[in-house]
Chain A
Amino acid sequence: MQLATTCRGKARLIASLAPVFALISALMLLAPTAKPARAQSEPENNKRYLSPIEMALSPDGRLLYVVCQASDELRVVDIQSGKVVDVVPVGHVPRGIVLSPDGRQIYVTNAWSDTVSVIDAATLKVVRTLPTGLEPTGIVSDRSGQTLYVANRLSNDISVIDVNTGQETKRLLAGQGASYLALSPDGKWIYGTHIYPNHGAFRAQPNSEITVIDTARQAVVERKRLHNVAGVFHVALSADGKLGVATQLRPKNLIPLAHVEHGWVFGDSLTLFGEDVGGTVQVPIDELDRYFALPWGVAITPDKAKMFVTTAGSENVTVIDVRKLLGFARTRPQSFVNDLSASANYVTARIPVGHNPRGTLLSQDGKRLYVANRLDDNLSVIDTSTERVVSTIDLGGPRTVSALRRGEQIFFTANYAFQGQFGCANCHLDATIDGLQWDLEPDGFGKDIVDNRSLENLAGTEPFKWNGGNPDMPTECGPRTEKFFYRSQSYNQQELTDLVTFVYALPYRPNRYRMANGELTPAQERGKAIFERTTYKNGQPIPQKNQCAFCHSGPKYTNQQQFDVGTAKSTDRSPLVDVPQLSNTVYSGPYLHDGSARSLEEIWTVFNPKDTHGVSNDLTKDELNDLIEYLKTL
């Protein structure tokens, strides 16, 4: 982790400037008809949007601490008045929060700083900053308050941090995209989820896990397997500890996307676990003609009567009667997760809330539920008895909604797809990837399987699609999406412009493999030389098209052309693939156009037997490692 620490300064600078460059580039590239009305819609006085995402409650129940992802702040709300009473700057892209058991410390994870901000709850000042793994997200404290557990999304692990020393004492292997944690009421167990599927065989059913940690041993003691699940989000426990629940997606990436109806693309569901249900039980929350996309936050009332689930793509909170749910599950020994009529037996209400609802928090008495409407900069307050929104707490974000913000709202909603089944953010989780390969319909069934591509800093990487078939982003997001993905009327011209503006503005995430001073490590230097070489080891020239740096050239390491590099499968209609950009490629696995390479290494050790995808067969294992070390810095 030394490298990651030393690279942070530069990474932060790049990350902060990237959106500006990307947006400028994007606006230059937009079609003449696609002109965002910047002057009228930019936030006043350049105020930043807040994007509240998670919350915690002070021990006396008077204050709400709200993590604001876009403004890099913790906002403190007086619940009685509904007013923001303090603002605490934290690190970059804060994402998770927990209080120490005595309530004196507030811990906030900073996903793009790879740190935890330790805030004194009395003075509301950051008093310490603790290092973590890559992209820390969820965080819990053990019952003693001596140990913090932090789920690291990009390093796929859980940091165990000694609060007294501030040092990480252990790193526990978790699922891909480790993200959310929950402590059992008795303090003995921690349950962890992850947003990307674990690596498996090519075209195998995706699998995920709930990672169970014994807090006494600080060790993983169980991995509860979640079959055919990819994308697991928040996890919660009932007050008696007998029922656990995690929100999740069940993608249908292995079947051709011929249409959308009947849950053909995604299933929105929960996994129940714990003594109340025995092993694990997956339960659907969708209906036959309406979908409740991207179940994200979840909370169980103290009396275990109700469960509340935010559906981030559907601007809703789903209310579940726990007694009915458990009763129904007991009557259905066979899986019923594909039964779209099942939810009628336990879902009692759908409560409309704001854009992209994420974190949920119950008051101590369970009478109020707070929901963070991430793209409205406010909180919905729900009476858990009447199941209605009783008030909305404004967190003080900009009053105007910019084109960029509108585009973000469009990106994260599922309202455009047929019957609201999914949106951009279903496959591009938190605007990244989903780690899955899909069988899209236009080319025929079972043909041209495609891996999900990264959206980071796309300007200058056109054309799009793995075959380079879409010349620009409006084409990519417009008619093609409407016809072959959503299967329903989608964006008008303004909405498409806003969406494209947002997508083009997505920045690079900080690259943790670059040195802060811009220099390369010796291994990276050696890898760079291999990447740029023009001759074999024996001195013979390598044909230009077989040199890494020929196709992967330019500022984003793509010459924006299509080549046959020998990676096509028998089901591909053409051997030509669009040269992908390599910037931050370390975060975009699996690799190759169809995702058949599970790691960078497999690109050459498994899928390049004839040196058609660069020359790699004359490299030693160490030299290949060097090449990969260099690629990680791009």
Chain B
Amino acid sequence: MRAQPIVVGLVSLIIITAFAPMRSVLSSGPDAPAILFTVAKHYEPLAWTHGADRFSSDAIIFLQDVTGRHPLAPNFPASADPTVSFDGKRVLFAGKQKAQDPWQIWEATLTGDSLHQVTSCAEDCVRPLYLPDDRIVYAKKTGGRFVMEAADRAEGKTVQLTYGPGNFLPADVLRDGRILFEATYPFGTSGAPELYTVYSDGSGVESYRCDHGKARHSGRQIASGDIVFVSGSGLARFTSSRAEEVRISAPAGEFPGEIAETVSGDWLVAWRDGATPFQLMWWKPGTGTLRPAVAEPNANAVQPTLVVERTVPKRHPSALHDWPNANLLCLNAYTSKYKFAAGSIHSLRLYTRDHTGATKLLGSAPVERDGSFFVQVPTEQPLQMELLDSSGKTLKRQAGWFWMRRGEQRGCVGCHAGPETAPENAVPMVLLKSTTPADMTGAAGHSASGGQ
């Protein structure tokens, strides 16, 4: 992985002791743990899709346990996005020390005896999540839009994870080590938000499932391994065994975002019925009633987070090579939801786009009779593929964009095959011709000679 030197990234630990009265965080048992949540007059969960704040400037994180309710960072005019460390002792959050400051990432101990600033971003840094091995991931606003960045706190290095157009917001870190995040589908469009995954080195980006359609966001993984998220105004889940979302039958009303699950399987959810503010409610999935947990008469209570220990996700061992470019192998472009006619795909074009949004052709390459192609592509910039027939007519052009990290080697089963499709075991014809990828880096002119 190529780590970037910190310019506006991590700051040295600034320890502020006694920022709040020392306290013990008490729970009355695993089924009633202490909770964190954010209270704000206004809450727009999808404001990030156009680079805007999700919370009004009065947002405050509260810690609620059996002793009562306390602001997590009482001296801060604004705080939001709490997430608890794997050992259940610390909290990362987005906060403003002064009202006019940009959002920064901060970390506090739950006992209230330590608080330090983690980032010093020129623009906002929000939605932090813990990664294994003392790393974190968050969204950093750059040029008015959010990109995702991971930071190694021990080494003080950061690495940008997203290189597509549009805005990106971390949602959760899955137990298999992937980062679940939100972006519009396709990337960089005004389409509905969708859930995606990426490894913590920025490689392997893909949508979690391919049954796109409804606005999906605020996904969290629960104990079963399912991802529970907002779909439209209701809740749905992705299970390991199915390629499509499964609707969750929940009480009527609107659910704006993340759920928190207790050991016994109860969920803490933000909910409202009508135009009233969101409140936190307890719900046992499968039942038809909600029980009040946190009520704020004139503000929204959202982002429920349990103060509990949890399993550390698997660390992703980055296998990026020390190469300037990346290699992409498609096993069979005919393996696709688009049902291309046999023998119809002749070549591939690859595009990128510059900072103005203008599209630029990088090159073209043949597609073999079995649908395989092998190309070398530039890295850390938006990429878009287009399949052509033998007359040069477009068969299908990717609606959005993707990217590859420097030194990444990636294989695809097909073109929009869906994550449910495993590859067939066969030597791709393109590798029988040559193990050198077609140069699509844009460094040299390249024309398709046809692969068949």
Contacts and interface: CB of A to CB of B under 8 A. Distances in A.
Nearest to B321: A442
A195 B239 CA distance: 33
B409 interface: yes
Contacts of A596: none
A445 B423 CA distance: 15
B422 A340 contact: yes
A255 B241 contact: no
Interface in A125-161: none
Between A289, A418, A447, the greatest number of chain B beta carbons within 10 A of the residue's beta carbon is seen for A289
A258 B411 contact: yes
A483 interface: yes
B315 interface: yes
A476 to B, nearest CB: 16
A286 B327 CA distance: 28
Given A255-B428, A489-B132, A441 B422 contact: no
A258 B413 CA distance: 11
Contact of B424 (A228, A442, A479): A228
A228 B427 CA distance: 12
A162 to B, nearest CB: 42
B331 interface: yes
Contacts of A446: 427-428, 431-432, 435
A205 interface: yes
B424 A338 contact: yes
A437 to B, nearest CB: 11
B423 A262 contact: yes
B12 interface: no
A255 B428 CA distance: 7
B147 to A, nearest CB: 23
Contacts, number: 132
Interface string A318-352: 00000000000000000000111101100100000
Contacts of A479: 317
B264 interface: no
B316 A489 contact: yes
A259 B411 contact: yes
Given A261-B204, A487-B319, A251 B425 contact: yes
A263 B243 CA distance: 14
Given A258-B410, A341-B420, A483 B435 contact: no
Nearest to B320: A483
Given A441-B409, A487-B317, A205 B422 contact: no
A630 B428 CA distance: 40
Interface size class of A (residues with CB under 8 A): 35 or more
Interface residues of B, number: 39
A288 interface: yes
Nearest to B408: A258
Contact of A252 (B314, B329, B425): B425
Contacts of A341: 241-243, 420
Contacts of A490: 317
B304 interface: no
Contact of A264 (B225, B319, B374, B422): B422
Given A258-B329, A289-B240, A488-B316, A339 B420 contact: yes
A483 B317 CA distance: 5
Contacts of A234: none
A455 to B, nearest CB: 23
A22 B428 CA distance: 41
Contacts of B318: 483
Between A263, A287, A446, A484, the greatest number of chain B beta carbons within 10 A of the residue's beta carbon is seen for A446
A576 to B, nearest CB: 18
Nearest to B418: A341
Contacts of A253: 425
Contact of A344 (B241, B319, B419): B241
Contacts of A284: 422
Contact of A338 (B243, B423, B435, B437): B423
A290 B204 CA distance: 18
A203 interface: yes
A419 B242 contact: no
Contacts of B427: 203, 254-255, 446
A288 B241 CA distance: 6
A231 to B, nearest CB: 12
A267 interface: yes
Contact of B413 (A206, A262, A445): A262
Nearest to A263: B422
Contacts of A264: 411, 422-423
Interface string A468-484: 00000000000100111
Interface in B225-247: 225, 239-243
A267 B420 CA distance: 12
A488 B321 CA distance: 16
Contacts of B423: 252, 255, 262-264, 338
A442 B409 CA distance: 9
A288 B425 contact: no
A445 B426 contact: no
B425 A254 contact: yes
A487 B319 CA distance: 8
Contacts of A192: none
B431 A290 contact: no
A401 to B, nearest CB: 23
Given A228-B424, A262-B421, A483-B317, A489 B243 contact: no
Contact of A289 (B177, B225, B424): B225
B176 A447 contact: no
A446 B428 CA distance: 9
Interface string A150-180: 0000000000000000000000000000000
Contacts of B422: 252, 262-264, 267, 284, 286, 338-340
B258 to A, nearest CB: 20
Given A252-B423, A262-B413, A571-B435, A445 B327 contact: yes
Interface in B390-442: 409-411, 413, 419-428, 431-432, 435, 437
Contacts of B425: 205-206, 228, 250-255
Interface string A482-497: 1110111110000000
B241 A489 contact: no
A256 interface: yes
Contact of A447 (B132, B242, B419, B435): B435
Contacts of A555: none
Interface in B144-184: 176-177
B317 A445 contact: no
A483 to B, nearest CB: 5
Given A254-B426, A488-B314, A445 B374 contact: yes
A258 B315 CA distance: 18
Nearest to B329: A445
Nearest to A573: B435
Nearest to A257: B411
Between A287, A343, A442, the greatest number of chain B beta carbons within 10 A of the residue's beta carbon is seen for A287
Contacts of A290: 225, 240-241
A484 B321 CA distance: 11
A347 B241 CA distance: 9
A574 to B, nearest CB: 14
B177 to A, nearest CB: 6
A444 B327 CA distance: 9
A595 to B, nearest CB: 14
Given A264-B411, A344-B241, 11 more contacts: A252-B425, A255-B411, A261-B204, A289-B225, A340-B422, A441-B409, A445-B411, A446-B427, A446-B431, A487-B319, A489-B317
22 contacts: A228-B424, A255-B331, A255-B423, A255-B427, A256-B329, A258-B329, A259-B410, A262-B419, A262-B422, A262-B423, A267-B422, A284-B422, A288-B419, A288-B420, A290-B240, A338-B421, A343-B241, A482-B317, A483-B317, A488-B177, A488-B314, A489-B317
Interface of B: 132, 176-177, 204, 225, 239-243, 314-319, 321, 327, 329, 331, 374, 409-411, 413, 419-428, 431-432, 435, 437
User: Closest 3 interchain pairs by CB?
Assistant: A263-B422, A446-B431, A344-B241
